[in-house]
């Protein structure tokens, strides 16, 4: 993984040529005609999603910019604080509260059968505690190009079903969704060279359309980071193919360490390439010390669990920066980037020692 990393809704579907591209790239096949996903608004499509009995259907979009953010009382960091406090490790517990007491995104990576329930559970917690929840949709076929965070949907048809079930779990509640970290940028690098780049962009455009049709989702399409795709014209074109005109903006620096100022400057240039009005969000969860120098550090990739990093600016939806809707903690500090060195946990697994390092460095 190189780095973890407003307009009318257009109904999109995979064409036969797209299906062929997916097959050629090993990313799966289009479903058989009887298994195709229904168009938006058709029976079984997003528009048919019903609000669960006894649950209010707000159906009113709530903008991310200026909204209070949801602080999840559950999660590994909060559990670790309680564990250390009970064990008499008060100093470590206090340091880790710099993570556990901040709003962070919830990553949704579950199967098609489970995704609606997991989205519902996260939004139910947010409705109880208050604040805008931020979810990450992370299930694109050939996710992370088979690297440390590999996995995702088995094929394009599975992903179409998955994103509809994700949308069903929203059920008329406000939410911000970060769509598929790395996916657009990967379509432009060696991962997209096998011919699946265009098919992936169509899947992303459909995902944006499905999520926007819920009426309450704010959607930010991931655009990589400032040191990945340097040709902004090419990136802007890929983002257009991936539905940026229907989204609320793009996301930068997800799971990376690049400083905020560099992201703002890059974001402005990318926004200009898109017409000058596209807004964006920045992941500042671990960028307090900037990126590690060089391509590798301590025997592993510089983007993967580099030592000496620290927490970045605390999350805010009032950053006071031109075209920046929010500074967010999208990557959850303390969760591994991957088992890039001996003894490091797999991607996404809680790693208390690294979490404490990030928090202690911030002090």
Active site residues: 144, 182, 337
The per-residue DSSP string of 316-356 comes to: BS----TTEEEEE--S-TTB-S---STTPPPTT-B-HHHHH
Buried b (16+ CB within 10 A) or exposed e, 224-240: bbbebbeebeebbebbe
> Strand 175-179 to strand 217-222: parallel, antiparallel, or no bridges (unpaired)?
parallel
Judge whether 70 and 126 are in contact, CB under 8 Å. Answer: yes
CA dihedral 226, 266, 65, 5 (to 10 degrees): -10
Burial of 190 (0-12, 13-18, 19+ CB in 10 A): exposed
Angstrom distances, CA of residue 311 to CA of 259, 308, 315: 11, 10, 11
Closest CA to 63 of 317, 328, 323: 317
Residue 223 sits at the vertex; the CA angle it makes with 236 and 123, to the nearest 5 degrees, is: 130
């Amino acid at each position: 993984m190189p780095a973890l990393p407003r307009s009318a809704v257009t109904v999109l579907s995979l064409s036969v040529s797209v299906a062929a591209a997916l097959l050629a790239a090993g990313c799966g096949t289009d479903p058989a005609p009887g298994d195709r996903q229904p168009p938006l608004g058709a029976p079984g499509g997003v528009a048919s999603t019903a609000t669960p009995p006894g649950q209010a259907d707000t159906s009113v979009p709530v903008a991310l910019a200026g909204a209070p953010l949801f602080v999840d009382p559950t999660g590994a960091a909060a559990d670790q604080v309680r564990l250390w406090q009970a064990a008499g490790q008060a100093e470590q517990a206090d340091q880790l509260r710099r993570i556990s007491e901040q709003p962070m995104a919830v990553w949704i990576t579950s199967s098609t059968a489970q995704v609606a329930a997991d989205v519902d559970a996260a939004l139910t917690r947010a409705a109880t505690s208050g604040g805008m929840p931020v979810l990450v949709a992370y299930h694109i076929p050939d996710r992370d190009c088979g690297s440390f965070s590999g996995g995702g949907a088995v094929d394009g048809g599975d992903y179409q079903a998955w994103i509809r079930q994700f949308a069903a779990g929203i059920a008329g509640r406000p939410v911000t969704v970060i769509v598929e970290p790395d996916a657009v940028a990967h379509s432009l690098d060696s991962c997209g060279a096998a011919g699946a780049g265009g098919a992936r962009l169509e899947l992303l455009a459909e995902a944006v359309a499905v999520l926007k049709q819920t009426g309450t989702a704010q959607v930010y399409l991931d655009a990589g980071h400032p040191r990945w795709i340097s040709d902004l014209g090419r990136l802007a074109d890929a983002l257009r193919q991936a539905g940026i005109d229907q989204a609320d903006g793009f996301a930068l620096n997800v799971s990376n360490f690049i400083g905020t100022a560099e992201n703002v400057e890059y974001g402005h240039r990318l926004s200009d390439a898109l017409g000058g009005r596209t807004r964006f969000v920045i992941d500042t969860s671990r960028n307090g010390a900037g990126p590690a120098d060089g391509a590798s550090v301590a025997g592993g990739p510089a983007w993967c669990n580099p030592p000496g990093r620290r927490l970045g600016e605390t999350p805010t939806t009032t950053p006071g920066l031109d075209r920046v809707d929010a500074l967010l903690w999208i990557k959850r500090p303390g969760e591994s980037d991957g088992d890039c060195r001996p003894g490091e946990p797999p991607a996404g697994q809680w790693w208390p020692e690294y979490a404490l390092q990030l928090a202690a460095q911030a002090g």
